[in-house]
């Protein structure tokens, strides 16, 4: 039996952005949709992996899936980490993760919607709610990183809300192998 081939690395162009003032926009909540946004201070690693996979599968998010439970739990339960979930009609539909590096800088580490929530008019509204949450601790700057594997309009949307590019770099993302996917399924 031949060994399973490792997926080919995908080249990525990464853009780091920074925002130095809270957004001035306001957007109405989408109509005819029941929404709730809830912070999850003691999020279980399995639930986090579920959220991360549902949002990030299309965009090749792999880093947190490759972490063992102890390493992931240490990040998630760090008092500087804030994981907040968007619910639509009672079910999870997206999440964001903030990390407060220090009193000066907060990072929007992850943000996104489940596929089932796309097309409902929630994207801009949910990003704005995320930015309000990030600015609640009154940092001097909010940072985010995106890349060309992300949603095609992600960079444009971040800039529309007040982020400015500060640097770019190139890297690679190695997609999950079949063996890694199988191990994740076993973990549950």
10-residue mean pLDDT profile of the chain (188 residues): values are 73 98 88 94 96 95 95 97 97 98 97 94 95 97 97 94 98 91 80
**What pTM was computed for the model?**
0.92
Closest CA to 85 of 117, 120, 119: 117
Compute CA distances 89 → 27, 37, 78, 111, whole Å.
Answer: 20, 12, 30, 19
Q: What is the pLDDT of residue 129?
A: 96
Q: What is the pLDDT of residue 3?
A: 55
Q: What is the pLDDT of residue 188?
A: 65
Q: What is the pLDDT of residue 1?
A: 44
Q: What is the pLDDT of residue 41?
A: 95
């Amino acid at each position: 039996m031949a060994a399973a081939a490792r997926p080919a690395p995908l080249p990525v162009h990464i853009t780091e952005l920074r925002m130095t003032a809270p957004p001035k926009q306001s957007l109405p909540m989408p109509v005819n949709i029941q929404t709730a946004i809830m912070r999850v201070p003691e999020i279980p690693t399995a639930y986090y992996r579920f959220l991360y996979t549902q949002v990030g599968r299309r965009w090749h998010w792999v880093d947190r899936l490759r972490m063992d439970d102890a390493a992931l739990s240490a990040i998630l339960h760090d008092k500087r980490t804030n994981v907040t979930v968007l619910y639509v009609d009672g079910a999870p539909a997206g999440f964001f993760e903030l990390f407060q590096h220090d009193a000066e800088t907060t990072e929007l580490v992850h943000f996104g919607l489940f596929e089932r929530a796309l097309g409902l008019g929630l994207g801009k509204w949910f990003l704005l709610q995320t930015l309000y949450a990030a600015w609640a601790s009154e940092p001097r700057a909010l940072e985010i990183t995106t890349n060309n594997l992300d949603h095609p309009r992600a960079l444009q949307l971040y800039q529309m809300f007040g982020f400015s590019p500060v640097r770019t770099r190139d890297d690679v993302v190695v997609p999950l192998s079949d063996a890694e996917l199988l191990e994740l399924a076993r973990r549950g």
